[in-house]
Amino acid sequence: MRFGLFGRNRGIGGQPRGRMSWKMRLIPLVLFAIYGLYFYVSNQETVPLTGRSQLVDMTHKQEIALGLQSYQEILSQSEVIPEGQTVDLVRTIGRRLAKAAADVDHGFEWEFNVIESQQANAFALPGGKTAVYTGLIPVAENQSGLAVVMGHEIAHAIARHGAERMAHQKLVQMGTIAATVAVGDMDYDTQRMVMGALGVGAQYGVLLPFSRDHESEADYMGLLFVARACFDPTEAPKLWERMGEMSKGKQPAEFMSTHPSHGTRIKQFQEWMPEALALRQQHCKTQSD
């Protein structure tokens, strides 16, 4: 049997045939690093009110179109309440919050609807398309409590958190492709181990922390909208105390969650409260809840 100049299954330089050298493995990773840096630097925007730099590669027009499409789909599959006391309440609160956010809302055309559901939830999509689920009303307890949740959701839309999350996911996907190429000639078990570790790292080291940051940012911005709209911002920590009681024992560890813990949120609201109260006093000298 002939083994050749470099031995059996060996190629030039003594490397195993069909296996990349470590230098070759670096090529897709270096290319990703270069393009990833360009992608990140060239798609920076600034979040209103907080001044945080964010990664967004989608235009406002594209984002609003996606928001409208999603809104129409959700409403078509839901039981929308056309009129009544709850609808009037939600729309009154919504209009006040929209007015408070008018200087930073990208020209959104606001719309507020109520959906019959036991969910204690609400959402606001790019473009200002907002809905409140009836299950939220008893948890909110009062106008200011409901305004806290609606202000939070409105803040998500204004801060473009959805578009930012999509850009982060795109960056992670590009990194995953580069890593897949780099380990492409390794045995299956090694590939699975490496890609699994990268996936866990991306999830817990990048995506979840950013998601929690988005929630905290929306809490802060929403609290300022609540104060500007002349609702009572001190209802925010009270609301999350009630939410904490509702989900007692059900909330995962904070590092595994897309949201900060209820305790963290309450503490942050307390830290921001002096600013919110001062803002309310400035904007609402003659207006009461």
The pLDDT, as a whole number, for residue 63 is 95
What are the structure tokens assigned to 162, written together?
């959805």
How far, in Å, are 18, 50, 74, 76, 120 from residue 79 at the CA level? 59, 36, 10, 8, 15
CA dihedral (177, 182, 184, 189) positive or negative: negative
Q: What is the pLDDT of residue 285?
A: 75
The predicted structure's pLDDT at residue 97: 98
Q: How far apart are CA 222 and CA 50, in angstroms?
A: 11
Tell me which of 153, 164, 215, 217 is the catalytic residue: 153
Instruction: In whole angstroms, give the CA distance from residue 155 to residue 151.
Output: 6
89 three-class SS:
helix
DSSP state of 47: -
Give the pTM.
0.78
Is 217 catalytic? The answer is no
Q: Which pLDDT tens digit goes with each residue over 210-263? A: 578 999 999 999 999 999 999 999 999 999 888 878 766 555 443 334 568 888
Q: Stretch 15-30: mean pLDDT, rounded?
A: 59
Total Cβ atoms within 10 A of residue 151: 32
Closest listed residue to residue 127, CA positions, set 69, 79, 82? 69
> Looking at residues 79-94, what average pLDDT do you find?
97
Mean pLDDT over 53-64 rounds to 94
